[in-house]
Amino acid sequence: MTEFDIPVPDERARTAAQDRLDGLVKPVGALGRLEELAAWLAAAHGSVPPAELEDVRVVVFAGDHGVTRAAGGGVSAYPREVTAAMVRAFLSGFSGVNVLAAQVGARVDVVDIAVDDDLDGVPEAVARHKIRRGSGSIDSEDALSPDEARRAFEAGLRIADEAVDAGAQLLIPGDMGIGNSTVAATLVAASLGLPAGEVVGTGTGIDEVGLSGKTAVIEAALRRAGDRASDPFDLLTALGSACAAATAGFVLGGARRAVPVLLDGVFSCAAALVAHDIAPEAARWWLAGHRSTEPSQAFALKTLGLKPILDLGLRLGEGSGAVQAVPTLRAARGVLAGMGSLADLDIG
Ligand SMILES: Cc1cc2ncn([C@H]3O[C@H](COP(=O)(O)O)[C@@H](O)[C@H]3O)c2cc1C
Ligand SMILES: O=C(O)c1cccnc1
């Protein structure tokens, strides 16, 4: 297995931040979760107060998932062709995550990891990480070859490195791929040994008939892969997708560079769960942006020991939930940077 050297957050800065928080003009602990996040950021940055989060970057990993062709069909409420069309939407700036990221001054980049359809004319920066078109239908065949899984993972590492080299202080993994909630649920079920019925969710909004078909597809995939979940790269090969492998590389890549990663919805959390199997210490650098409506995200977060910052009932992906947690992180940092201390108050 690949070895990764994951830096250790600065525990002295965390303690110093907590001491400062305890002495601010408020009752001890009165700013609740903001205090925990402030101390977390101080440990990540190694200073009190931590740096301002000015350079926030979302990378949307776009690709198709062969499971949309699974026997019986219908794992998604929308057709595969949406994936390619949405890449153009991200580039035009009118997708959900474009609009939400603009509110917080975050940059959005989209990369074509495995889109099926032709994307003629997209910038080279979007196209250059492409691994393949789509992926195998996991209920009946492997998603990828072992080499593709490895290359997609390495592309994710590289994309994180490039973002950090360009100044990123916070990385957000986004996803775009019709059918990817089936792959996410399958990865979580396989990793944690859960039955399909517990992890399956409605994704883009399938009905009850669709949900039972989707459950059967996940069951077939789990049966087919047997015990291959015990190796994370074998798991990505058998039941993942190029986007899952690239996203796993990306979240691990941020950790490797000591840059915080704000996880988003079900897909990024499933990929993080696999990345955690590759390098468990990477989770020290991750926060959970929001609670998705997909059940498998909750299982993944529980295993990673992460508690979502927001719970807005979102089920979009793209990085849309995580970007909305950015103001909360900035507020946490602002508390440490700006509040006065209780000792300076003239209290009798
Ligand atoms: C227009 C549109 C934009 C999206 N943006 C993200 N997703 C999200 O929905 C898909 C996952 O759900 P499922 O597994 O049910 O297909 C992914 O593409 C995910 O990124 C979208 C889906 C649609 C239709
Ligand atoms: O929670 C998510 O990330 C999600 C849910 C449904 C569809 N796409 C994404």
pLDDT single digits (tens) 55-78: 999 999 999 999 999 977 799 999
* Centre of ligand 2 from the C-alpha of residue 15, in Å: 36
pLDDT in tens, 89-139: 999 999 999 999 999 999 999 999 999 999 999 999 999 999 999 999 999
User: Which residue has a Cα nearest atom 4 of ligand 2?
Assistant: 315
Indicate whether 26 and 163 sit together in one domain: no
| Residue at 3 is within a domain | no
Q: Is the pLDDT of residue 165 over 80?
A: yes
Distance (Å, whole) CA 289 – CA 269: 10
Indicate whether 65 and 192 sit together in one domain: yes
The reply to whether 281 belongs to the active site is: no
| pLDDT-above-70 percentage for the chain | 99
* Centre of ligand 1 from the C-alpha of residue 183, in Å: 12
Domain at 35, CATH number: 1.10.1610.10
User: Which residue has a Cα nearest atom 1 of ligand 1?
Assistant: 82
Close Cβ partners of 202 (under 8 Å, ≥ 6 residues apart): 210, 211, 293, 315
Q: What lines the ligand 1 site, CB under 6 Å?
A: 76-78, 82, 86, 175-182, 203-204, 316-318
Return the ligand 1 atom nearest residue 86 CA: 3
315 CB within 6 A, ligand 2: yes
pLDDT in tens, 170-201: 999 999 999 999 999 999 999 999 999 999 99
Confidence category of residue 1, pLDDT binned at 50, 70, 90: very low
Structural domains in the chain (count): 2
Indicate whether 115 and 242 sit together in one domain: yes
Q: Where are the extended beta strands (E) located within 90-230?
A: 107-114, 170-176
Taking the CA of 110 as reference, the closest ligand is: 1
Indicate whether 21 and 88 sit together in one domain: no
DSSP state at residue 26: S
| Residue at 1 is within a domain | no
Residue 2 has a pLDDT of 53
User: Which residue has a Cα nearest atom 8 of ligand 2?
Assistant: 316
Indicate whether 244 and 141 sit together in one domain: yes
Over residues 27-31, the mean pLDDT reads 98
Q: Which residue has the tokens 């776009």?
A: 62
User: Which residue has a Cα nearest atom 24 of ligand 1?
Assistant: 78
| Residue at 5 is within a domain | no
Residue of 65, 69, 82, 207 to mutate, ligand 1, most atoms within 8 A of C-beta: 82
Domain at 214, CATH number: 3.40.50.10210
DSSP string spanning 211-252? Answer: HHHHHHHHHHHHHHHTTGGGSHHHHHHHH--HHHHHHHHHHH
Domain that holds residue 87: 56-326
266 CB within 6 A, ligand 2: yes
Indicate whether 171 and 29 sit together in one domain: no
Distance (Å, whole) CA 48 – CA 10: 11
